[in-house]
Amino acid sequence: MCGIVGFFEKSGTVDAPVGVTLLRMLTALGCRGPDSAGMALWGEGADGLVVRVKLGATDDLEARRREVVRQARRITRVRTAAAQGSLLRLVVAKAEPDALAAAIEAIGPDVEVVSLGRRLEIVKQVGAPRTLDTAFGVSQWTGTHGLGHTRLSTESRVDLSHSQPFWAHGTPDLAVVHNGHITNYHKLRRIYEQAGVRFYTENDSEIIGVYLARQLAGGRSLGEALAASVRELDGSFSYLAATADAFGFAKDPFGLKPLLVAETERAVAVANEEIALQGALGGPSRAREAGVGAVGLWERPARATRRRARPPRRAA
């Protein structure tokens, strides 16, 4: 029942209005999931890493913010740190991702690195999609592509950690959004936990990011990993996934969950209801239903460009 959306600017320009486009698409799907909402956006890129951190349940957010910064400084140089709602945004010098995330999350079990990458930023919270702009100013975000999710919880709890998008912990710039059920989730989770993988939720959607991360680590491309997932993930599902340079989708081999694609020469928009595609592409386009077991992939041009001479506005 959840709403999933994605937008990809095919030209590779780094200042496309991806944030406001995703917000319009998500708002159109707000009736599908009133419990929580989130966005993942791939922007121009930092000289180092951008990290979003859930500060957790504490009566003193400022003290928790200082502790996160102290822990990050044990690993690398912290260039900026700014709190937004329940998330802290850090821009840091280059670092080993696992070591940086482990240092930050050592503060306590309620502290979580929500996203980490050179280009990826994830924001999410409990509530309807429109609250994302109030809390994070997402309508001003620019970039090359992004994902969005609005959630109706059917099994696991309603909180920030269980909200989507999910960052694939430990793999910079990889994130997913999902609608449906992964029925071999418990089997796969046991296998991955025996290999030392930590899970942060009881949400079956989290397994997709873990699966894709392991496929990429094994040398597969994102397109190859998406195709493999159709064979190896059981259930009724459609999901979107992206890295810093690629954007794609996968749909279960039974075709039980809807997924529509609209494409022009300029951009691609994907959602699980056509109403979300209307207006996303700024002109005439035809939506098509992704086929049974379908996989789609689009890759960013090798050389990025800017649409305008002025610098794009960055996420605050």
Enzyme catalytic residues: 2
At position 96, the amino acid (one-letter code) is E
**Contact of 298 with 9, CB cutoff 8 Å:** no
Q: What are phi and psi of 97, to 5 degrees?
A: -55, -45
Tokens at 99, concatenated:
């070591």
Give the Cα separation of 281 and 297 in Å (integer): 18
DSSP state of 137: -
Q: How far apart are CA 86 and CA 123, in angstroms?
A: 10
CB 172 within 8 A of CB 56: no
Other beta carbons less than 10 A from residue 294's beta carbon: 20
Question: Helix, strand or coil for residue 40?
Answer: strand
**Residue that the structure tokens 């709890």 belong to:** 157
DSSP labels, 54-114: E--S-S-HHHHHHHHHHHHHTTS-EEEEEEETTEEEEEE-S--HHHHHHHHHTT-TT-EEE
Q: Return the residue matching tokens 């001479």.
A: 309
Distance CA 204, CA 211 (A): 12
The three-class DSSP label of residue 9 is: strand
Distance of CA 44 to the CA centre of its chain: 16
Cis peptide before 165 (omega within 30 of 0): yes
Residue 232, H or E segment: helix 222-232
